[in-house]
Structure 1
Amino acid sequence: MPFLSQISLSQIQDDNYLKNIPSLSSGIQLQLKNSVTFFVGENGSGKSTSLEGIASHCGFSLRGGNRNHNLSGKRIYESILAEYLRLSWSPRRITNGFFMRAESFFNFASYVDDLASADPAILKAYGGRSLHKQSHGESFLSLFNNHFDAGIYILDEPEAALSPARILAFMAVINQLEQSGRAQFIIATHSPMLICYPGATIYEFSSEGVEETTYQKTEHYNLTKSFLDNPSLYLRHLLSS
């Protein structure tokens, strides 16, 4: 069963940028029935904003990391959404885990190297060598395989550096931790492969709000499948002069 079981957001009344995000402005009520939940939707639909709010409630650095990581020595910015969110935990609030942003992973890897310069043993938690000395995909999987154990893992587009084969390897990591009963995943993604993970709950963020769906009904899945079934049809229209 998931540690975080419900995410609630009342209608935004204050005058801030959240009112301009259609999926969030009217409020949300999400039930996290499983230990793996995906947020899908177009860029700017509110997925990452929602992850930031959840991560802030957990006490994670919004630059990426866990409660013990402080990439800059101070918090650069706050999640405005966090003050509006209400999270329900069972049996208690979890603060172990990790918030991963693909866009800021380079900074996180540099932060780990800085720590390792004083204590090389720190690298044992990341596969035994600098994340910068691994390929982008290898460094992502090193983090997943060596640092993820127990807690809540909030991941923003983890597929960004992963080949299709490594996405499958990542799904195996998710499964191992999920089956242990020690971990919960909330993942924002554009990957039509990742959202096929068995038994996961999928919420789609759109101009109509946030609705539960299945992977077969997502635009990510249908557009990718349609393109791969007949790429010449799409390319003929896209590349015609």
Structure 2
Amino acid sequence: MYHEDALMGDRASRAFVRGVMIDWPQISTDSYLRRIPALASLEELRFESPVTMFCGENGTGKSTLLEAIAVAYGFNPEGGTLNYRFSTYDDVSQLGSALTVVRDRARTKSSYFLRAESFFNVATKAIEYNAHYGNRDLHEQSHGESFLSFFNAFDGAGLYLMDEPEAALSPQRQLALLVKIHELAAKGAQFIIVTHSPILLGLPGARILEFGEDGLRPCDWEDTDSYRVTELFVNRRETLLHRLFE
């Protein structure tokens, strides 16, 4: 029988990021951040599982919060490992400078911040840094192959922040990523993942936080919009399409 707690181990000893706190006085009163309900209602957030999933509709603040955590922790805003330092476009929000990270464990080089939209830039820097992932340069692989090659190079306990990793992956490759997350979490890694994928959201033992107009709330897998819409489409495709096309 599969036991979720056995997979995740001693949760209290696993966190690289135990929690985050937002000092709102540091953010300007006219900032768009104050108009995002899930963020505006948030002063403190604790991470209670080795794997935390952020889900919710577009524009609800998921990626903004993840980026702020990454910046506050010491990652490059455009992604990469803790050693990557480059900038192609400066659009970092004020949230990163107003956010404090509460740590339980020291930083480790076996950590990674993925932003799907800027992974091309990370792959370019990997070549400049003479860093090798897989048997070919990342630009010689497909988007999905290069992402998995990059991520599969990590094998230890570390902090992994991922913004919509499914954007590059087929459903089969999402399952491969799910296995890798499972393996690393069992070794003491911590994940914070923004995703719309019902496959990734279905990882047993993961804590799901839904961002919405009513704020931020814990959510079961079956109650996520990603699961509900997918289930509806698979089980009642003709009825759903008929209603949509009408």
What TM-score, normalized by structure 1, do the two folds share?
A: 0.88
The residue that corresponds to 2:122 in the other structure is: 108
Residue of structure 2 equivalent to 1:8: 21
Contact 1:23 1:46 in 2 (8 A): yes
Residue 174 (structure 1) aligns with: 181
Q: State the alpha-carbon separation in 2 of the partners of residues 103 and 55 from structure 1.
A: 15
- Which residue identity is paired with 2:114? M
1:19 to 24, 30, 34: 34
Give CA deviations for 1:208-231 in whole Å, capped at 9, x if unaligned. 111111111111111111111111
**Aligned match of 1:156:** 163
Greater Cα offset, 143-152 or 227-236 = 143-152
Structure 1 residues 39, 28: CA separation in 2 closer, same or farther (over 3 Å shift)? farther
Q: Distance in 1 between matches of 2:184 and 2:84?
A: 22
**Post-superposition CA distance 1:148-195 (Å, at most 9, x none):** 5331111000011111111110011111111112x1110000001101
- The one of 220, 225, 229 equivalent to 2:226 is 220
Counterpart in the other structure of 1:98: 112
Identical residues among aligned pairs (%): 43
Question: Counterpart of 1:119?
Answer: none
Specify every segment of 5 or more residues in structure 1 that has no aligned partner in the other structure, as ranges: 117-121
Q: Return the offset for 1:234.
A: 1.6
Per the alignment, in what secondary structure is the counterpart of residue 205 of structure 1?
Answer: strand
Is residue 66 of structure 1 aligned with residue 81 of structure 2?
Answer: yes
Code of the aligned partner of 1:165: Q
Residue type at the aligned position of 2:117: E
User: Within 2, Cα distance between the matches of 1:143 and 1:87?
Assistant: 26
Cα deviation, residue 146, structure 1: 1.1
Q: Distance in 2 between matches of 1:133 and 1:109?
A: 10
> What are the within-5 Å matches in structure 2 for residues 112-191 of structure 1?
112-116=126-130, 122-123=131-132, 126-147=133-154, 149-181=156-188, 183-191=189-197
The superposition leaves residues 57-102 of structure 1 with CA deviations (integer Å, 9 ceiling, x where unpaired) of 1111101112211233x88354411232232221x34354111100
Aligned length: 230
Query: What's the CA shift string for 1:14-70, capped at 9, x where partnerless?
Result: 311211111111224322111100000111100000011100111111011122112
Let me know the Cα RMSD of the aligned residues: 1.9
Partner of 2:70: 55
The superposition leaves residues 109-150 of structure 1 with CA deviations (integer Å, 9 ceiling, x where unpaired) of 12222333xxxxx21xx1131111111111111111113533
CA distance in 1, matches of 2:160, 2:79: 11
Match of 2:50 in 1: 35
Long gaps (5+) in structure 2: 1-13
